[in-house]
């Protein structure tokens, strides 16, 4: 016996979308967390918001992320990984496309046991700001 779909409508809250996005983002290579100061972290603990993550559901689904990335990993590659993971998770969970996804990398985090390099001055092989722009990924 075939089950026929029942016409109707599904409602998904902004918080549910944020949870999907947060899980996909934190599971991506090189992401160490979301950016946010002490005030944003307090707001998160009160359950009033999630720092580093903005979801707008007006005409389409718009997502904005403020991330911290592990020191020593290629930032553009991390951004591509996050973009792919978030779009896939939303498509799979909600059968809907993300209309706009903005990724801001707000800082680098040195992992425990990893020291800063002896010299952080720009050498001939250093990444320039134009290199990221030329990579084709929208990373602010």
User: Strand pairing partners for 34?
Assistant: 67
> Into which CATH architecture does domain 14-111+127-134 fall?
2-Layer Sandwich (3.30)
Is pTM, for the whole model, over 0.75? Answer: no
CA gap 123, 112 in Å, rounded: 26
Let me know: does 40 contact 49? Beta carbons within 8 Å.
yes
CA gap 135, 40 in Å, rounded: 31
Q: Which residue has the tokens 């100061």?
A: 37
CA gap 2, 24 in Å, rounded: 34
Let me know: does 31 contact 67? Beta carbons within 8 Å.
yes
CA gap 98, 71 in Å, rounded: 28
* pLDDT the model gives residue 121: 47
Q: What is the pLDDT along the chain (140 residues), one digit of tens a residue?
A: 667 767 777 777 888 999 999 999 999 999 998 887 777 767 767 777 678 899 998 888 999 999 999 999 999 999 999 999 999 999 999 989 999 999 999 888 886 655 555 544 444 455 555 555 555 555 55
Structure tokens at 8: 């109707």
Per-residue CA distances from 122 to 69, 125, 129 (Å): 20, 8, 11
Structure tokens at 50: 């999630």
User: Domain limits of the chain?
Assistant: 14-111+127-134
SS3 42: helix
């Amino acid at each position: 016996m075939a089950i026929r779909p029942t016409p109707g409508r599904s409602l998904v809250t902004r918080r549910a979308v944020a949870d999907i996005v947060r899980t996909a983002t934190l599971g991506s290579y090189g992401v160490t967390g979301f950016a946010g100061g002490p005030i944003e972290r307090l707001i998160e603990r009160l359950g009033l918001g999630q720092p580093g993550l903005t979801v707008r559901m007006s005409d389409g689904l718009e997502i904005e992320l403020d991330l911290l990335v592990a020191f020593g990993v290629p930032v553009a590659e991390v951004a591509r990984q996050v973009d792919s993971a978030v779009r896939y998770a939303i498509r799979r969970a909600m059968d809907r496309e993300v209309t706009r996804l903005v990724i801001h990398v707000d800082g680098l985090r040195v992992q425990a046991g990893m020291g800063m390099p002896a010299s952080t001055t720009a050498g001939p092989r250093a990444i320039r700001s134009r290199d990221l722009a030329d990579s084709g990924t929208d990373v602010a």
